[in-house]
Chains A and B, each alone.
Chain A
Amino acid sequence: MSGATPPLPQVRDALVGDLVRLRPPTQGDIHRIWECQDWEGARLGEGGAPVPRLRSETEDWLLQPFQWDKLHLVIDPLDDAVPIAGRLSLGRLQWPEATAMLGMSLLPDSRRKGYGIDALRVLCAFAFEQLNLHKISLGTWAFNEAAQALYRKVGFVVEGRERDFLFRDGAYHDSIAMGLLASEWRAHPGRPA
């Protein structure tokens, strides 16, 4: 045994990626998310009726402590270009199955800038490597091909097509069910071949 103390290992913050960090929402973030509500976000992101939400609804929805049922995080760009780029959530966390549903939305001025895919990789890594989840699932509307391409890039696999799952723009549309298993994540950590 030598007397020298080994240096502390450099530990990477599990919630920091290349472009963004994920953190819990503040009142200010909620206000921004509420102010930035736009039709494209509602049309693509709203699971129920695409009706604009009250500020109090947005607060009640996002400002909840983590109690193994849902986790809400906001996407904070490291370049400080905007206060927040959007939000991510894991909902319906089931135990002992260790499964969860993923939800994500980007604010209008932060779409198509690479924040989304970076945030998604950070959240998946956190879910599998810190929360010990077994699977992350999600549903995306069939007409939202950009979302499907994004999820596929991170390794999500299409598991089925639920017919006439939602009504929007005067017609019924299918929903695409996608999933990512912990074993798949370990094989490719967010960058499948």
Chain B
Amino acid sequence: MFAGERVRLRGLQESDIDDLAGMEVQAEAVRLRRQGPIWPGGRAEAEALYERTRTAAPDRISFAIEAIDDGRFVGHCVLATVSRTHRSAEIGIGLLEEDTGRGYGGEALRLLLEYAFAGMLLHRVHALVRADDERGIAAFTAAGLKLEARLREEALDLDGNRVDVLSVSVLHDEWREAVA
């Protein structure tokens, strides 16, 4: 369930903190991933992220993404705001800038969806993606997530322009049909 051809998902380790800190200071990555300010204190934020994620909690499960060929940390992904009532969760994924464009993200996404639907028996998985994040939109579309809302002007780009956020989702039945 946690290993594909190029990447595997594993729990975060203390040795990932430097890599996480490296991601946190890539301002573009911060903007692409979520709302909120860009802070200069990268390492502290990475440590806080690590502390929050090193033990699995039912509502938030984080993974490191590791390249199978050399065992390197290439990014992390998360199943967040897991609702046990609605059997739903939000997914998020972040790769190191130098490891984008190699198919790592797409495969990590497929593994994460398998974990969400087959492992956690969720009914719905959704993601929020900035409308100008072409790579992110392409990855989610390829993984079977469908556009369902355009949330106007909820994000910012690095030039200070307001950008729409897209809400995309895939349901359990759709996922099962696609992997069958």
Contacts and interface: CB of A to CB of B under 8 A. Distances in A.
Interface of A: 48-49, 94-97, 99, 134-135, 137, 157, 159-167, 172, 177, 179, 181
Given A94-B36, A172-B123, A159 B150 contact: yes
B99 interface: no
Given A48-B85, A94-B35, A159 B149 contact: yes
Interface in B134-179: 148-156, 162, 167, 169, 171
Contacts of B149: 159-162, 177
Contact of B85 (A164, A167, A177, A181): A167
Main secondary structure of the interface of B (DSSP, over half): strand
B35 A164 contact: no
A192 to B, nearest CB: 16
Interface of B: 35-37, 83-88, 123-124, 126, 148-156, 162, 167, 169, 171
Contacts of B152: 135, 157, 159, 179, 181
Residue with the greatest number of chain A CB neighbours at <10 A, chosen from B35, B149, B150: B149
Contacts of B150: 159-160
Contacts of B88: 164-165
A10 B159 CA distance: 41
19 contacts: A48-B85, A48-B86, A49-B84, A94-B35, A95-B36, A95-B37, A97-B162, A134-B162, A159-B152, A162-B149, A162-B167, A162-B169, A164-B171, A167-B85, A167-B86, A177-B151, A177-B167, A179-B151, A181-B153
